[in-house]
Amino acid sequence: MGKNNTGNAPDIDVVIAWVDGSDPEWLREKSQYSPSSMAESDTPVRYRDWDILRYWFRSIEKFAPWVRKIHFITWGHLPPWLDTASPKLNIVKHTDYIPQEYLPTFNSHTIELNMHRIKGLAEQFIYFNDDMFITKPVSPEDFFKNGKPCDTYGLNCIYFGENSAGHFCGSDLEVINTEFKGQKKAIIKRDRRKWYSMKNGARICLKTFLLGGWDWFPGFHYDHLPSSFLKSTLEEVWQKYGEVLDKTCRDRFRRESNVNQWLFKFWQLCKGSCEVRSSRFGRAFHIDDGNFDELCRAITGQTYSMICVNDTPMTTEFEQKKNRVRDCFEAVLPEKCSFEK
């Protein structure tokens, strides 16, 4: 396993996927294919730009300078302000790592399920969506300890509702309950101190206890936040369930039957290959009129170590909210970073 620049710890990389939903060439290619049966997948909410990506790069440089390399996944377009000559930046086009039989793709799951194929990717890496940010200083041990990813251990029930990701969780759980059939109680007993650690939070521990009696996994606690992964986990799941992942990757747009990258997270939890991290480490804001002010206070007050600014169909007055969020990030991260021209 490679060492970082200090020679004291394994390398940790960051992967981020980004799309410019206004690029006319991308829109032209996208229009040549029919969207999937999941109407939510083709809504403008999935592609409109909050114009805050530069603050993501600033936050990595300021709050996580120990990151070895940023792998920036793109269809091919790039932000005009991005300095592609930065030695810590690796521009990764879909054609650079996604197998040809899956291209072109407009399915975020395909982009994520194949991350282990990125050339030069470290064994330990953190995956970000482009709406996830670090908002105050963090250490490598916040994401990996003893060579293991840090995560919250917890059981939950899958929520199926309008615009929810429940269908994907259901597909993920089909794989999990096939691979770990009859092992649930033994898994929790083996890692009891992790599943019932108070770092997970009292409510999460209570849910785990109440859902622990069944022989199968009903679901897992999940926060829409950056995920710590081992590249070898992705390789192992592909080796054992390649047909399932291949089926998802052949869908050019997201479908309700798809598995997604949470499968790798759930797999790591079942394997016990994670260390427990406080559930208060980060928070996802699914934006609506009721929580928008709290989101802005969380950014400027640096309340959490990481947050998600998740656009939703309930996000009204988009331009006004976009400008305010951008102002909040500017207040915390006003200086240009080495990734900007």
Question: Which H or E run contains 309?
Answer: strand 306-310
- What pLDDT does residue 40 have? 41
CB under 8 Å to 31, separation ≥6 — which residues? none
Residues 230-262 as b or e (16 or more Cβ within 10 Å = b):
bbebbebbbeebeebbeebbebbbbbbbbbbbb
pLDDT tens per residue, range 290-310 = 899 999 999 999 999 999 998
User: Where along the chain do its domains lie?
Assistant: 12-332
pLDDT tens per residue, range 196-252 = 999 999 999 999 999 999 999 999 999 999 999 999 999 999 999 999 999 999 999
pTM of the predicted protein model:
0.93
**128 residue type, one letter:** F
pLDDT tens per residue, range 256-286 = 999 999 999 999 999 999 999 999 999 999 8
Q: 12-332 has which fold?
A: Spore Coat Polysaccharide Biosynthesis Protein SpsA; Chain A (3.90.550)
pLDDT tens per residue, range 24-80 = 999 899 989 876 444 344 555 556 788 999 999 999 999 999 999 999 999 999 999
Report yes or no: 286 and 196 within 8 Å, Cβ to Cβ: no
Place of tokens 């192992």: 236
Model confidence at 163: pLDDT above 80: no
SS (H, E, C) 224-284: CCCEEEEHHHHHHHHHHHHHHHHHHHCCCCCCCCCCCCHHHHHHHHHHCCCEECCCCCEEE
The angle, 0 to 180 degrees and rounded to 10, between the axes of the packed helices 318-332 and 53-63 is 20
Instruction: Decide which of 111 and 166 is more confident.
Output: 111
- What pLDDT does residue 165 have? 86
- What pLDDT does residue 47 have? 61
